[in-house]
């Protein structure tokens, strides 16, 4: 994925998000090159490195707003922190438990068959597969 600034502005507006400086700059980091996995802490550090002035609270707010707007997907791999993925399509992950590196697995490279019915009164929302890996 490749997006220029205009595409990114349009993306935000199309999801009903106002164009504030912080949102445009964070969206630039996230969506310019596509396919990224970040935590709030990582994104805040990266923003600072790039001369973007934004508070940590705003990074959290923005990640959640983008998630609600369907631009990001939350991933639960690690009970210590929340990861966000710019790839919102159905797919799965490798998670390196030593260096906390997350890698996508294209959906069509994993097949999952869940035979049992979900618990009474519930319906399946989605299936997450995390393949935990460690250095060899």
Q: Where on the chain is the footprint of DNA (CB under 7 A)? A: 13, 17-23, 39-41, 53-58, 60-62, 64-65, 79-82
Q: What does 13 interact with, of DNA, a second copy, none (CB < 5 to 8 A by kind)? A: DNA
Q: How far is the CB of 25 from a second copy (least distance, A)?
A: 25
CA distance 10 to 66: 14
Q: How far is the CB of 13 from a second copy (least distance, A)?
A: 30
Q: What does 62 interact with, of DNA, a second copy, none (CB < 5 to 8 A by kind)? A: DNA
List binders of a second copy among 94-133 (CB under 8 A). 94, 96-97, 101, 103, 105-106, 109-116, 118-119, 121-133
Strands 73-75 and 83-85, by their bridges, are: antiparallel
Closer residue to DNA in complex, CB, 38/92: 38
Using alpha carbons, select from 113, 109, 104 the residue that is nearest to residue 130.
104
Contact indicator for 114, 127 with CB cutoff of 8 Å:
yes
| Residue 70 lies near a second copy (rule: CB under 8 A) | no
Using alpha carbons, select from 60, 48, 46, 41 the residue that is nearest to residue 100.
41
Q: What does 89 interact with, of a second copy, DNA, none (CB < 5 to 8 A by kind)? A: none
Task: Mark 58-68 as b/e (b = at least 16 C-beta within 10 Å).
Answer: bbeebbebbbe
Tell which one of 82, 87, 91, 100 touches a second copy (CB under 8 A): 82
Tell me the chain's radius of gyration from C-alpha atoms.
Answer: 17
């Amino acid at each position: 994925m490749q997006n220029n600034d205009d595409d990114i502005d349009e993306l935000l507006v199309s999801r009903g998000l106002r164009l504030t400086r912080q949102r445009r700059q964070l969206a630039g980091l996230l969506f310019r090159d596509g396919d990224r996995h970040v935590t709030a802490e990582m994104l805040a550090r990266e923003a600072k490195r790039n001369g973007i002035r934004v508070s940590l609270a705003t990074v959290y707010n923005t990640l959640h707003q983008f998630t609600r707007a369907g631009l990001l997907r939350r991933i639960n791999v690690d009970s210590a922190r929340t990861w966000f993925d710019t790839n919102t399509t159905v797919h799965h992950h490798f998670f390196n438990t030593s260096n906390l590196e997350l890698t996508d697995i294209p959906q069509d490279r994993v097949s999952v068959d869940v035979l049992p019915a979900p618990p009474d009164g519930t319906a399946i929302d989605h299936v997450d597969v995390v393949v935990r890996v460690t250095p060899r």
